[in-house]
Amino acid sequence: MFYDRFLILCDEHGVSRTKACIDCGISRTAWRKWENGGVPNGVTLSVLADYFHTTVDDLLSAKKAPAAETGDGGVSDDDIKFALFGGGGEITDEMYEEVKRFAAFVRQREKEKSEGGKK
């Protein structure tokens, strides 16, 4: 159920559901519908995916895979950490989250560049 996934993401990001909805411009009525089995529309899903730095597919997944099994194309987070940091030393969750935030920043910058060129 979408609402369960939403609560998990709020917990993982240390925000209340109210704060997440306010930050994303979502009404209390909308998340009340999610509690009863509703699913957000495509625009709202996209906004939430950006907010939680994830994908719409991940938002719609019924359950979250264990951390070692998440990643793109069957590549685990541990594989990604090894590739990014060369396998040397301890890689903290904070270091990995910083890399993911930077990747999201680069994606957004490139998206804005491509949208600017289409005008």
**Domain map (residue ranges) of the chain:** 2-64, 69-117
Q: What angle do CA 72, 31, 28 make, to 5 degrees?
A: 135
Q: State how far the Cα of 34 lies from the Cα of 38, in Å rounded to an integer.
A: 4
Length of the chain: 119
- Does the pLDDT at position 41 exceed 50? yes
pLDDT at 25: 92
Provide mean pLDDT across the span 48-70: 71
pLDDT-derived band at 74 (thresholds 50, 70, 90) equals low
- Residue 119 per-residue DSSP state: -
Give the right CATH number for 2-64 from 1.25.40.10, 1.10.260.40, 1.25.40.20, 1.10.760.10.
1.10.260.40
User: 42-51 vs 17-24: helix axis angle to the nearest 10?
Assistant: 110
